[in-house]
Structure 1
Amino acid sequence: MKSFEVNFDGLVGPTHNYGGLSFGNVASQSNSQQASNPREAALQGLEKMKALMDMGFVQGVLAPQERPDVAALRSLGFAGTDAQVIERAAKEAMPLLVASCSASSMWVANAATVSPSADTADGRVHFTAANLNCKYHRSIEHPTTSRVLGAMFADQQHFAHHAALPAVAQFGDEGAANHTRFCRDYGEAGVEFFVFGRSAFDSRYPAPQKYPARQTLEASQAVARLHGLSEEGVVFAQQNPAVIDQGVFHNDVIAVGNGELLFHHQDAFLNTEQMLAELHGKLAARGGNFQSISVPRDQVAVEDAVRSYLFNSQLLSRADGSMLLIVPEECRANPRVWQYLQGLLAAGGPIREVKVFDLKQSMQNGGGPACLRLRVALNETELAAVNPGVIMTPALYDTLTAWVNKHYRDALRESDLADPQLLLECRTALDELTQILKLGAVYPFQIN
């Protein structure tokens, strides 16, 4: 039976703005308070989805969240009508209003951790929504994320859904941004690679000193247990605390993996040689031939990797066995990164082609190509059980493009977030979107 890795890209929401909410994310903070363009951001994301579809990859869409999150503001003591809640929050606590308007759910690499059926004890695809409790504006996402994923992958015969882990620091979980899977074939048992920044209970693991380590070892272990993964099919590795302090807030900012290949910076991990040996041994036991490409620090500094998002790229397998690397325009603009990539292609290794995409609106807020997609490995039967409304087609691309042009503003500043009309615009757009994607009622305003 044929198997696929399907990329479900996050559709950028109507309130896309540069709130500078993510401490530790250099791009997010450096562009804080600039005017954003939600329409352009959504169209850039859709163009990437269509391009991958046109190249023959199975491509899906993951809907954004309802914003502003009026219910979250009510839980913090703001009362009255929806308009009054927004008005009062703008007057008394503008940072909370900005947080409640965040469109960060566009980066669906943080939405959940996904384990394919070939790896799990019960033979189903398992999803655990990430609690994202390190940042308030992201911690309010997982209830809607769970409903959206449940509407996309509804068949309980094939799919299992788990609630987010306890929303406490000890179980900080950032989803697939710190999770990679290696395998010989997407339909065969593989090795799931969990990367953590710190341990909540074991002081032997060093922690960063400047920026927070968002993923804990304990959260990664809990997800592996929930998904029914065997000890032979998992590897846990620690991020280098020094690179977290240089702005590597998730592992997908410093490493990306696919198939049998890990593409990473020399300084990405602690105990790198031991980790690589464990990955090689466990994948070999499952019939695979693990390979790694380590990018030397003297060719690409960590600072260049963070600014260009070289590793926040998509590494995709082509039918002929070669790999394609999808990178943002910022990689071409960085002379050192671009020189490295040209040398990588000339070397004739597994990565045979690099394609560049303009994702400036997302990049300025701290998310690149890999942030925008959640990878789900599915066999033919499982793919047939997915809600067909969320699978990209030429017709769906045209429909969503028209939907964005109809509903999205072309400029958004912090002061615009206080406009109650923005909430009405967002709800109108999302109500129409759930019909386009055949999701049913997944948003609070549709349920309550």
Structure 2
Amino acid sequence: MTLAHEANCDGLVGPTHSYAGLSPGNLASDRNRGQVSDPRGAALEGLAKMKRLADLGIPQFVLPPHQRPHIPFLRDLGFSGKDGEVLASAWKEAPAFAAAACSASAMWAANAATVTPSADALDGRLHLSAANLTSNIHRALEGEQTHRILKRLFPDEARFAVHGPLPSVAHLGDEGAANHVRLCAEHGQPGVNLFVWGRDGWERWQDDFPARQTLQASEAVARRHGTQRPVFARQGRAAIGGGAFHNDVVCVGTREALLFHELAFEDKKATLDAIRRAAEGLFEPVFLEILEADLPIEDAVSSYLFNSQLLTVPGQDRLTLLAPVETRENPRAHAAAEKLAASNGPIGAVEYVDVRQSMRNGGGPACLRLRVVMTEGELAAANPAQRLTEEMHARLSVWVMRWYRDRMTPADLADPLLIDECYGALDELTAMLHLGSGFYPFQRHGA
């Protein structure tokens, strides 16, 4: 059996972390619109979570923030002059576009890409496809830079196939791994790939909240990766209507365990039957369903129980559920989580982590990371400067304290000094993570 690990690649929160309420259907984002954020605290929370996983012996990598404000986007809209002049004009004449250009949403790396491990790919390489994120303009700006980031982290083309985003059209709306779950007996063995989609790209959507992932996008990603044993399942309309804008708000799984809310799938029986058929001869799936009667969808979404990380901790037979503190603070979600750990099932422990700054924008622990199953050889071939160590954690913490503000309102994003702060921070980070020359647009084209 090939030895493999489920590594986590976490997005480092950027200096412009704010609550601008840019994401329709994301109830937390809308509820906290205009509130004061703490970029420094958010970045340190994310780093603390990364360090906790690294301390457990789980491979942990750092994905750098994107350049924000995204001045090239604003130039494409006709604003001109020096970068500071471009930003000032955009905030005056087109504030909605200016807000999108300043969003730090790339921190939620679960949307960065979809991953097919080498054990499941026809050509035996590890495949990643950067998501196009067409459903929201602030996220649709991310695909090109995400592709560049993944190419730097996974440079060996003999081992890794890093694909760019699908064409940026509504029919191929792709939200990345937030709508994908891989199940298996062991990470190094072949598994089942569950692709969850919210709408058919050709249908007319009439519900209140948008369904972001299309069936056609999921099929295209599976096809280009040569993904074996794919299962395509429709997300429950009731879940989307309740605020589950991605499947990972109501479903999480790893190894043989799939933990999901009763409303997660439009046709639950057909979905579970399809997973069983795909897994036949490989492993026996374990389905952990939490009923609407025990945890109403409103509580599931506000507590983000399902947006937890299911971790395979070295030396432990059973999984650990890493949940946000909001799960512990919600009586029904807390009871459900503790019941999972108390049963004799695949989950043996629950831990709680503070990522409140992310949660206020609708992103829990699972949103902050991209899971990548990697063999020992693949781990060795990844950019070592991006792997979190004790020393790297300390250096990044100092870097955050030096460059990040501890208070940010949406109005503060128009401050011309913010550009210099962000560019200075990213210049230094480029060297720290060995990202190479010209990694960001301002490094290639100047300010």
**What is the TM-score with the length of structure 2 in the denominator?**
0.97
Amino acid at match of 2:349: E
1:378 and 2:374 correspond: yes
Partner of 2:295: 300
**How far did residue 90 of structure 1 move?**
1.3
Partner of 1:278: 274
1:100-156 Cα distance to aligned partner (Å, 9 max, x none): 000000000000001111111111111110000000000001111111110110001
Partner of 1:19: 20
1:63-110 Cα distance to aligned partner (Å, 9 max, x none): 110000000001111111111111111111112111100000000000
Q: Provide the alpha-carbon RMSD of the alignment.
A: 1.1
Amino acid at match of 1:164: P
Residues in 2 aligned to 1:121 and 1:74: alpha-carbon distance in whole angstroms: 42
**1:344-363 alignment runs, 5 A limit:** 344-363=340-359
**1:113-128 alignment runs, 5 A limit:** 113-128=114-129
Query: What fraction of aligned residue pairs are identical, expressed as a percent?
Result: 50
**How far did residue 445 of structure 1 move?**
1.0
| Secondary structure, counterpart of 1:311 in structure 2 | helix
Residues in 2 aligned to 1:181 and 1:345: alpha-carbon distance in whole angstroms: 21
1:325 and 2:321 correspond: yes
Partner of 2:141: 140
**How far did residue 208 of structure 1 move?**
6.0
Residues in 2 aligned to 1:442 and 1:149: alpha-carbon distance in whole angstroms: 12
**1:102-181 alignment runs, 5 A limit:** 102-181=103-182
1:210 and 2:180 correspond: no
1:230-250 Cα distance to aligned partner (Å, 9 max, x none): 3xx100000011210111000
1:323-371 Cα distance to aligned partner (Å, 9 max, x none): 0000001011101111222222222211110000111100001100000
Amino acid at match of 1:223: V
Residues 60 and 387 of structure 2 are in contact (CA less than 8 Å); yes or no, is this contact kept in structure 1?
yes
Partner of 1:398: 394
**1:82-101 alignment runs, 5 A limit:** 82-101=83-102
Instruction: Count residues with an aligned counterpart.
Output: 442
**How far did residue 321 of structure 1 move?**
2.0
With over 3 angstroms needed to count, the CA separation of the structure-2 counterparts of 1:343 and 1:229, relative to structure 1, is closer
| Secondary structure, counterpart of 1:118 in structure 2 | helix
Residues in 1 aligned to 2:64 and 2:249: alpha-carbon distance in whole angstroms: 23
Partner of 1:200: 201
1:309 and 2:304 correspond: yes
Partner of 2:407: 411
**How far did residue 184 of structure 1 move?**
1.1
Partner of 1:446: 443
Amino acid at match of 1:248: A
Residues in 1 aligned to 2:46 and 2:429: alpha-carbon distance in whole angstroms: 16
1:174-212 Cα distance to aligned partner (Å, 9 max, x none): 000001111111111111110000001368xxx561101
Partner of 2:255: 259
Residues 41 and 361 of structure 1 are in contact (CA less than 8 Å); yes or no, is this contact kept in structure 2?
yes
Residues in 2 aligned to 1:222 and 1:334: alpha-carbon distance in whole angstroms: 39
Residues in 2 aligned to 1:148 and 1:421: alpha-carbon distance in whole angstroms: 26
1:250-303 Cα distance to aligned partner (Å, 9 max, x none): 000000010011000011101111111111121123x21111100011110000
Residues in 1 aligned to 2:233 and 2:366: alpha-carbon distance in whole angstroms: 20
1:387 and 2:388 correspond: no
User: Which residues of structure 2 form unaligned runs of 5+?
Assistant: none
| Secondary structure, counterpart of 2:45 in structure 1 | helix
Residues in 2 aligned to 1:208 and 1:351: alpha-carbon distance in whole angstroms: 38
With over 3 angstroms needed to count, the CA separation of the structure-2 counterparts of 1:208 and 1:241, relative to structure 1, is farther
Residues 208 and 245 of structure 1 are in contact (CA less than 8 Å); yes or no, is this contact kept in structure 2?
no
> 4+ runs of 1 displaced by more than 6 Å?
none
Residues 280 and 291 of structure 1 are in contact (CA less than 8 Å); yes or no, is this contact kept in structure 2?
no
Q: Which stretch of the first structure deviates more once superposed, 212-221 or 81-90?
A: 81-90
| Secondary structure, counterpart of 2:185 in structure 1 | coil
Residues 305 and 337 of structure 2 are in contact (CA less than 8 Å); yes or no, is this contact kept in structure 1?
no
**What is the TM-score with the length of structure 1 in the denominator?**
0.97
Residues 256 and 285 of structure 2 are in contact (CA less than 8 Å); yes or no, is this contact kept in structure 1?
yes
**How far did residue 217 of structure 1 move?**
0.1
